[in-house]
Amino acid sequence: MKVISILLAFINSLVGCLLILSCVSAGEALGWIAFKTGAGILAIYFGILTFKDSFQPISQSRLVLSGLLLVIIGISALAWGVHWSIVSGDMKNTVLVVGGSLFVQGLTSVLGIEAGET
- Say what the pLDDT of residue 117 is: 54
Q: How far apart are CA 27 and CA 90, in angstroms?
A: 21
What 3-state class would DSSP assign to 89? coil
Confidence of residue 12 (pLDDT cuts 50, 70, 90): confident
Whether residue 39 has pLDDT greater than 70: yes
Maximum CA extent, the chain: 47
Task: Please provide residue 117's backbone torsions phi and psi, each rounded to the nearest 5 degrees.
Answer: -75, 145
Per cent of the chain over pLDDT 70 is 91
Structural domain that includes position 102: 2-114
pLDDT at 86 exceeding the cut of 60:
yes
- Structural domain tally of the chain? 1
Angle formed by the axes of helices 93-114 and 2-22, to 10°?
A: 150
- Over the stretch 59-78, which tens digit does the pLDDT of each residue have? 778 878 888 888 888 888 78
Express as a percent the part of the chain with pLDDT over 90: 0
> How would residue 92 be classed by pLDDT, with cut points 50, 70 and 90?
low
